[in-house]
Structure 1
Amino acid sequence: MALLGIDVGTSGCKVVAFRENGEVLSSSGKEYPFITPRPGWLEIDPEKIWEAVCTALGEVGRDLREPISALAVTSHGETLIPLGRDGRPLTFAIANFDVRANRYVAFFRERFDPFHLFSVTGMPLHGMYTVNKILWLRDHEPEIFERTWKFSCVEDFIVFRLTGEEPAMDYSLASRTMMFDVRRKAWAWEILEAVGISKERLPRVLPSGTPVGSLREDLARDFGLRGKILVATGGHDQPCGVLGCGVSSPGEAMYGIGTSECVALNIGPSPFLTKEMMENGFCCYPHVTEGDYITLAYIASGGSLVRWFRDAIAPDKKQEARELGKDPYRVLFEHLPEGPVPLFVLPHFAGSGTPYLDEHSRGAIVGLTLAASRWEIFRAILESLTYEMKVNLDLFEAFGLPIVDLRAVGGGARSLEWLRMKADILGKTLLLPETEEAVALGTAILAGKAAGIFAHAREGIAAMVRFRGKVEPSLERHETYGRYYSVYQKVYNGLKEVHELLSMLQGEEESREE
């Protein structure tokens, strides 16, 4: 019997079928476009998301030679999909990184002590959360606000379409709305009251790996699937990835090295909701494993910064790779000089992540001389992304959240050179899961739990997660990198005022253009 994980991201979805031992049987991925009606606005057509999921499910279904017992859905967080009473979206989805609702941070500051809000929701006050998008809809699209039956996110929208049952989402995704009480594991009444909506206008909330219904018969026929297929709650994509790379105990963490970089740390059965966590932008919310909580550290740039270097600084190597039939990133790494290099890159090209959450911060290259080569800049990008993550991990450990090891997943985990660099800078062992599809695998484990194949998520880890190796740090290189890291730690604060002034200038220019 097969288990399916459906992973719905911001720009595409992936459907992966696994055997109960973790072997990949079939997979399919489909993309959908962003809509950017104004600068800073980011929308997605929910029907395009649904079409992509259906297409990928159909391709996997037609490819499989064995029946599916269950599937679960994971998705990115914060995106808002207002649904009418007929279950159809009333407007395009307001995507997670859309900035139009940022001004509602002031709305909450006027009504709540920020630490009280953090103590209830586990989310540091920020404009990206779903509740702010609902407020924007209330004030700017009042007719749509009034007509909305369910203020839905992506996981529950897809589960609803697959089953026809009332929308339901898991605790981890509900937390990303900033309307969820992470201790009580229920909608937070005081926040709903402030916003002016009832819990009846929100999806049901259930533990991850809970059955919601069965795949609609008409869809099963369309997808070429046989038998009754259970559909279950999955979770927010980051904790699903944590589960899929075998994290089962406090101190174990996933290091996602993709378009952005993220470390997701299992902090155990008690929420860790201190002022220090809030002040450094670290969230704390229910994990997809039973009773555990999770926290995240992230850099908005990651692989996207490597892609920028490829396209803006080394386009000739991209062409060379095409002519040689090689992966263009592999060609870049062939030119990587020995390190560390005396250059630093502040990797805030797409804004900062934790611990700063600074909307004004920009990217910068520091330490350039006439002798600097583009390949030294390339290495500085790779090193500095890891320095930036070390800033976060050092704070975790200072707060009493030790990190035992990191499980590396994502496109960046394919580069042994970069993994060695990361292990040396962080002074941590990197474990390498066998599958790159950690998010889908974690979601499939939750499907197996819902179907009764696994008694709990940890049993699913034992059955389905395998590792292909590990990268150990060099003590000597770690000590050398430590001297460079002490300099890197001064870069953000040294440029903070400059970036605020640049942001002000840009705002003035945009105002004149309007």
Structure 2
Amino acid sequence: MTDVVCVVDAGTTGIRCALVDERGEVHGQHSRELAVDHPQPGRAEQSLPAMWEVTVGELRAMRAVAAQAGHRVVALTLSTQRASVAGLDADLRPVTPLVLWMDQRGASELDALRAAVDPDTYSRVSGMPLSTMPALATLVWLRTHAPEAYAASSSFVGVQEWLLARLTGGRPQVDRSCASWYGLLDLHAGQWSDDLLTAFDLDGARLPELRAATDVAGALRDEVADATGLPRGLPVYVGGGDQQCSAAGGGGVRPGAATVNLGTSATMVFPAAVGDVVDHAGFVRAAHVVENCVSVEGTIPACGSALRWLRTLLRYGDDDTAYERMSADARQVEPGARGLLFAPTMAGVGTPHWTAAGGRIDGLDFTHGPGALVRATMEGIALQVRDVLRHLPTDLAGPTLTAIGGGARSEVFGQILADVTGRAIEVPAGDPQAAPLRGAALSAWVGLGRYPDLAHAAGSPAAARRHLPDPTTVPVYDALYSRYLDVTDLAAA
């Protein structure tokens, strides 16, 4: 019988549950999609009751997997989306929908927020930009435009806090990796900022209780245990934000151990000690799931979404082998994609520029087929990774990047990343998409006493593949990067 932790990975597009042992190996997983509602242009919401219903169903499925395999579930924990927020009444019932991180309604409040606090001062305290991404802008929008719902909300919560409250019946709790995305956490003190709360006229009593990712949130409620088949009284650990959990699952827990998560977007996490963090313009700085550690983050808005768009455009199909065939076609094309440059910036240019832009294509001619288009897309993503690294202080990134997420499955993509960035690219053993599951589970194993802390638990995962830069491609990609800066109007940045 193997002891396992049950992990709920609650993202924007779905709920995934998995069983993970103390070595970080996944012993079974199951997922179900979540609907995203767009009631008006620029708005994005989800139903918390619907999310809970899906979560219960996925936990029930994991209990069946554990029973069939003879595993013993010893704890439950979470990895969740960040920066989304909803209001709850005193009985923990939703007063508002969950307003998602991508929602833009808070844009109308930004001028008032910037008048209340100098943006540079705000960034130094919270690590966040004064933008629509932290939940702060949504909270102020609710106060201004939905005053009745705002007044009826006894607490404001994100996904982690909502699920923990439903699982345990306790007061809303949040770990600091998710709390950062309220935009109200003093990153250096690790506490809600009284100065920011006062400046924005917000009530800190309505914010969740701050906890560590490795803390016990409470025991599984009897009603939930009976509905899912999980043991009554099962300890529920707090867990953390999905990107920080992904970094921990890829070994990104110490300064210099950088990760790049090649998902729908690409998120680069550069761990840093709290005392070493300075204001890096254009980079988000959030608390890590590792205590006394900060996650300096760089974001490329379109990664997997760009490849998925190309898959549909070129009619590769939607079966399990589609991306394998795309990679095989890209492998047949030499570095530089026969002169084709594609900047897949359809969702804008991310860190550190944060500018709106459409995708840019340069050099397309009649000789370019599907393989060249796929390779150019991968190279375009890699060029954006190179640009993030160019603007990052050198002390935050070592000579190696650990690649996780769905894109890390492609060997040709891994080699392109190595050649374009000039860094070694390592892909951990196992499923690279399981990194958030592994990172969250390890936080519970620390809480259970199997490891002294999360840094020891995460360690340095064994690499299944290691891609080294090919020196013969240096002049090709140096020239391509210069073209990329010109085509995207970033040459002067």
TM-score by structure 2 length? 0.93
Inter-CA distance 466–59: structure 2 relative to 1 (3 Å threshold): farther
Please give the per-residue CA displacement for 1:372-425, whole angstroms capped at 9, x wherever unaligned. 434323221110111011100111145x42333211111111110111111111
Match of 1:5 among 7, 13, 27: 7
Structure 1 residue corresponding to 2:441, chosen from 428, 440, 444: 444
Structure 1 residue 52 and structure 2 residue 54: aligned?
Answer: yes
Residue of structure 2 in register with 1:282 after alignment: 283
- Which residue of 1 is the match for residue 163 of structure 2? 158
Conserved 8 A contact 1:77-1:236: yes
Please show how residues 349-498 of structure 1 align to structure 2 within 5 Å: 349-358=346-355, 360-397=356-393, 400-435=395-430, 436=432, 437-462=434-459, 465-493=461-489
**d(CA) in 2 for partners of 1:422, 1:239:** 21
Q: Deviations 1:69-88 (Å, cap 9, x if unpaired)?
A: 22221211110111111111
Give aligned pairs, total. 482
Instruction: Report the more deviating stretch, 93-102 or 220-229.
Output: 220-229
Structure 1 gap segments, 5+ residues each: 497-514
- Partner amino acid, structure 1, of 2:15: C
Residue 63 and residue 183 in structure 1: after superposition, are their counterparts in 2 closer, same or farther (change >3 A)?
same
| Mapped pair 1:347 → 2:344 | yes
Residue 251 of structure 2 aligns to a residue in which SS? Answer: coil
Q: Unpaired runs of 5+ in structure 2?
A: none
The aligned counterpart of 1:32 is 34
Alignment map for 1:140-179 (pairs within 5 Å): 140-179=145-184
- Name the stretch that deviates more: 334-343 or 107-116: 334-343
Q: Deviations over 1:452-471 (max 9, x none)?
A: 22221123224x94432322
Q: How does 1:178-193 map to 2 (within 5 A)?
A: 178-193=183-198
Distance 2:5 2:461 in 1: 14
Amino acid in the other structure paired with 1:191: L
What whole-Å deviation, never above 9, does each CA across 1:276-302 have from its counterpart, x for those lacking one? x13xx2012221112111111111100
State the one-letter code of the partner of 1:488: Y
1:171 deviation in Å?
A: 0.7
Q: From the superposition, tell whether residues 383 and 146 of structure 1 become closer, same or farther in structure 2 (CA, over 3 Å).
A: same
Instruction: Report the AA paired with residue 481 of structure 1.
Output: Y
Amino acid of the residue matched to residue 151 of structure 1? F
Cα contact 2:128–2:285 (8 A) shared by 1:
yes
Counterpart of 2:489 in 1: which secondary structure?
helix
Whether the 8 Å contact between 1:81 and 1:153 is mirrored in structure 2 is yes
Distance 2:399 2:260 in 1: 12
Residues of 2 paired with 1:236 and 1:63: CA distance?
A: 25
Name the amino acid aligned to 1:46.
L
The residue aligned with 2:206 is 201
Q: Look up the SS of the partner of 2:391 in the other structure.
A: helix
Secondary structure of the structure 2 residue equivalent to 1:101: helix
Do 2:329 and 2:374's aligned partners in 1 also have CA atoms closer than 8 Å?
Answer: no
Alpha-carbon distance between aligned partners in 2 of 1:231 and 1:494, rounded to the nearest angstrom:
47
For residues 259-278 of structure 1, what are the structure 2 equivalents within 5 Å?
259-274=264-279, 277-278=280-281
Tell me the percent identity: 27
Q: Which residue of 1 aligns with 2:308?
A: 307
Please say if residues 251 and 403 of structure 1, whose CA atoms lie closer than 8 Å, have aligned partners that are also in contact.
Answer: yes
Structure 1 counterpart of 2:244: 239
Residue matched to 1:18: 20
Deviations 1:217-257 (A, max 9, x none): 22122222235311111111111111111123211111111
> Structure 1 residue aligned with 2:323, among 329, 349, 352?
329
Superposed, 1:60-71 pairs within 5 Å as 60-64=62-66, 65-71=70-76
CA deviation digits over 1:188-222, x for unaligned, max 9?
A: 11222233322111100112211111111221222
User: Is the contact between residue 62 and residue 223 of structure 1 (CA under 8 Å) also seen in structure 2?
Assistant: no
Q: Distance in 1 between matches of 2:145 and 2:155?
A: 18
Amino acid at match of 1:444: A
Report Cα offsets for 1:15-65 as digits up to 9, x if no partner. Answer: 111121222222111111010111111111111211121111111012112
Give distance in 2, aligned partners of 1:260 and 1:248. 21
2:138 to 133, 146, 149: 133
Deviation string 1:315-365 (CA, Å, 9 cap, x unpaired) is 2x32xx86xxx611222223222221222222221222111112x322121
Distance 1:492 1:469 in 2: 32
Q: 1:89 aligns with which of 69, 89, 94?
A: 94
Q: Distance in 2 between matches of 1:36 and 1:79?
A: 14
- Is contact 1:5-1:442 (8 Å) kept? no
Output the CA distance in 1 between the equivalents of 2:399 and 2:169: 43
| Cα distance change of structure 1 residues 244 and 105 upon mapping to structure 2, 3 Å threshold | same
Question: What SS does structure 2 have at the residue aligned with 1:335?
Answer: helix
Secondary structure, in 3 states, of the residue corresponding to 1:489? Answer: helix
Q: TM-score, with normalisation over the residues of structure 1?
A: 0.90
Which 10-residue stretch deviates more, 63-72 or 155-164? 63-72
- Whether the 8 Å contact between 2:249 and 2:439 is mirrored in structure 1 is yes
Higher deviation after alignment, 261-270 or 166-175: 261-270
Q: Distance in 1 between matches of 2:491 and 2:371?
A: 24
SS of corresponding position for 2:239: strand
Match of residue 503 from structure 1: none
For the aligned residue pairs, the C-alpha RMSD in angstroms reads 1.9
- Measured after TM superposition, the shift of residue 304 of structure 1 is 0.7
Equivalent residues of 2:103, 2:132 under 8 A apart:
no
2: distance between equivalents of 1:465 and 1:333?
A: 25
Shift of 1:182: 0.6
